[in-house]
Amino acid sequence: MSTQRETPTSTPAKRRILGPCSVVFTAANTGSWRLERPQLDESKCIRCGTCARSCPTDCITVSRDGCPVVFDWYYCKGCGICVNECPKNALSLVKERGEH
Amino acid sequence: MVKLKFYGIGGQGAVTAAKVLSEAVSLFEGRYAITVPAYGHERRGAPVFAHIIVDDEPVLLNCYVYDPDIVVVMDEGIIDKKVDVTEGCTGSTVLVLNSGSEDYVSRYRQLGAFGDIYVCDATAAAERNMGLSIPNSAMLGALAKTGLVSIEAVEKAVADSFGKVGEVNVNAARDAYEHTRKA
Amino acid sequence: MPFRMFDGNGAAVEAIRMARPGVIAAYPITPQSSIAEKLSDCVANGQIDAEYIRVESEHSAMSVCVGACLTGVRVATATSSVGLALMHEVCGVTSGCRLPVVMPVVNRSLVAPWSLWCDHQDTMAERDTGWLQFYCGTVQEVLDLTLCAYRISEHQDVLTPSMVCLDGFFLSHSMQKVSAPTDEEAWDFVGPYVRRNMYIDPTDVMFVNDLCPTSEYTEMRYQQKVGFERAADVAREVFDEYGRRFGRRPCTVEKYLLDDADIALVTMGSMSGTAKFAVNELRRQGVKAGLLRICMFRPFPAGEIREALKNVPVVGVVDRSAGLGAAQPPAATEVSAALRGAGCRVFSFVGGLAGRDISDGAFKGLYSELLDVFEGQAQSVNTWFDLKGDPMALREVDIIC
């Protein structure tokens, strides 16, 4: 998605498109909607992947090595579903501090 | 212009017969036809009507037939099902009746609505040639006896319309044509 | 061109087959069913190289068509009556997204009362959903207009979907002789589908049909209006070309013996041939009767209609729609507007609902009413014709208790 934002979606010679569509994705940064963010307690995490499967925007990556859970803060809206679904209570919602 | 009305029972192929007749005159005699089937509840056993208008010129009318020149009855028993086959008939309307029973022929005669009556046991002809009691092709053979359409055109249209079973249907039409008599 | 035999549904399928759609999604409904069935046959036996996507409703059928068309293929579907009503929401998406879908609609009444038979209330309910509408008079026209509709709808300046309307049973199931182009001739005329507007393409992303702000909605509707304005000219150009190629020119309106007419009827669809037959008989009796058939209802050819009818003193418009609660039913409303200030007296007739036959006798009755007005023996006409004695007393039951 980010590469497409940087590349123009129409050829340099202008082409008109009729009807409702968007080619400039200024509203794509849904991470800016967050009031709270999920925070991981690594000591409780068993890397089961439940949070990633339950994320409605598919912005959680769980890995075997290193940091177990990585969030894509550009898209994470802070909905808290991952926090509710985590079987080990390894996730909690904390107040957003303004960094994306 | 000749106006026809087909009466049948769902499953006998009255609507198909109307379409095949349309093809016979349109493609094989260079004339024109219009068919308007009157569908009701589409099921076997229900009375079915089809309206056909045949002309040497393109047919403008695209409506039902109210004053038929020829009435084709594909099931003699239809007069026992509260269907008035004499509707709009003039007394000189030609009847083509599928019947093997003299009783039924005289009952239709006594209705007083028809002039010439052509009779053929088309169901028997269908059974002889196809092993099926679907009289539609056979009735087109019987209809050819009235002179409305040539038996050759009927045969070509039947062969074209019925695909794999075209030949047995053609045989049924020819058989019925040869067994049709004026009552 | 050799003649072939088709019923209306068969002619629609033949035109669709010739236009080589890549995706088909149709839900069967009486009297359209044989279109859905025959399209499925064509895909199964290789006559159409398309993906046939089975759907559980007309809403889904049109949704599939929207998505598929956005990927850049020609799509096919067809419907009727309540199926069209269920499709209503997505019909607006199709036209609003400027997707040039061509859809045969087999005209059948809306419910209740439940009915399977022909009138124009289903497509008239869709007349303002942003689709072009053509009403066929014969089976030949079903083939001709469907082929033309692809060219008109897909034209760069139009990009507006088309409903090709054919009367249930009177055309859909009427076997007639049709002159059809060869597959090559038809393909040479229709041509391959070219995506000209928005699309779904993972290598060139756009967000289709997102929430449109108040500040832009009006402009997008205006774009559609411009498309409709161009559609009228494009239709005439396409009809001219079709006429040159195949010897039959489809029309936006058909004028029949109007030049010296004292009275005229305006008709649509399969009833028009019967009306012409009645005009011929009246002419033989010395009555100066004429006929105007509206073939293209959207865009409404108001200028042509005004030009054709402005010198006819008394005009009657036959609607196969009830037009409940309206000043006049749909066709009469539009014809009246087109003739405003022209000096004609315009009357409305309502009939032929739910497959009630409009016979040549019925048409002669309508002309007779117009003649009475023309000769000053009547001030108005009976709008609802061929009506049973006391409609309010259709059902009477005993009062129990």
pLDDT-flagged residues of chain A (< 50):
1-7, 100
Report CA C368 to chain centroid distance, whole Å.
28
Collect all residues of chain C within an 8 Å Cβ-Cβ radius of residue B23.
5, 175
Mutate to test the interface with C, among B63, B66, B162 (most CBs of C within 10 A): B63
User: Rounded to the nearest 10 degrees, what angle do helices C81-96 and C58-70 cross at?
Assistant: 30
Per-residue pLDDT at A5: 44
Nearest-neighbour CA in chain C from A99: distance (Å):
27
Nearest-neighbour CA in chain C from A45: distance (Å):
36
What is the number of CB-based contacts under 8 A between chain B and chain C? 73
Per-residue pLDDT, averaged over C225-229, amounts to: 98
pLDDT exceeds 80 at position C92? yes
Domains delineated in chain C = 3-246 (3.40.50.970), 253-374 (3.40.50.920)
Contact B64/C174, CB-based, under 8 Å? no
Residue of C nearest to A20 (CA): C209
Per-residue pLDDT at A6: 47
Q: Is B27 on the interface with C (CB under 8 A)?
A: yes
Per-residue pLDDT, averaged over C103-132, amounts to: 97
Q: What whole-number percentage of chain A has pLDDT above 90?
A: 66
Contact A9/C96, CB-based, under 8 Å? no
pLDDT category at C401 given cuts 50, 70, 90 is confident
Contact C5/B18, CB-based, under 8 Å? no
> Quick count: other Cβ atoms within 10 Å of Cβ A10?
12
pLDDT category at C113 given cuts 50, 70, 90 is very high
Q: Along chain B (183 residues), what's the average pLDDT of each consecutive run of 10 residues?
A: 94 91 97 87 78 96 96 94 93 96 95 96 96 95 98 97 95 97 92
> Quick count: other Cβ atoms within 10 Å of Cβ B85?
22
Per-residue pLDDT, averaged over C165-194, amounts to: 97
Collect all residues of chain A within an 8 Å Cβ-Cβ radius of residue C198.
17-19, 21
Collect all residues of chain A within an 8 Å Cβ-Cβ radius of residue C206.
9, 17, 21-23
Per-residue pLDDT at B42: 61
Nearest to C293 by CA among C265, C321, C261, C260: C265
Are the beta carbons of C21 and C74 closer than 8 angstroms? yes
Question: Residues C51-69: pLDDT tens digits?
Answer: 999 999 999 999 999 999 9
Domains delineated in chain B = 2-182 (3.40.920.10)
Are the beta carbons of C167 and C269 closer than 8 angstroms? yes
List Cβ neighbours of C151 (8 Å cut-off, separation of 6 or more): C189, C190, C191, C234, C238, C241
Mean pLDDT across chain C, nearest whole number? 97
Nearest to C80 by CA among C121, C31, C137: C31
Residue of B nearest to C3 (CA): B27
| Sheet architecture: strand order including C102-107 | C79-80, C102-107, C162-167, C132-135, C296-298
Per-residue pLDDT, averaged over C148-167, amounts to: 98
List Cβ neighbours of C321 (8 Å cut-off, separation of 6 or more): C119, C120, C121, C124, C329, C330, C331, C350, C353
Q: What whole-number percentage of chain C has pLDDT above 70?
A: 100
Question: Residues C342-360: pLDDT tens digits?
Answer: 999 999 999 999 999 999 9
Domains delineated in chain A = 30-95 (3.30.70.20)
Does residue C130 come out as left (phi exceeding 0), alpha (psi in the -120 to 50 range) or beta?
A: left
Question: Residues A34-63: pLDDT tens digits?
Answer: 999 999 999 999 999 999 999 999 999 999
Q: What ipTM describes this predicted complex?
A: 0.92
Question: Residues C191-202: pLDDT tens digits?
Answer: 999 999 999 999
pLDDT exceeds 50 at position C332? yes
Total-model pTM? 0.91
Per-residue pLDDT, averaged over C317-326, amounts to: 97
Question: Residues C284-319: pLDDT tens digits?
Answer: 999 999 999 999 999 999 999 999 999 999 999 999
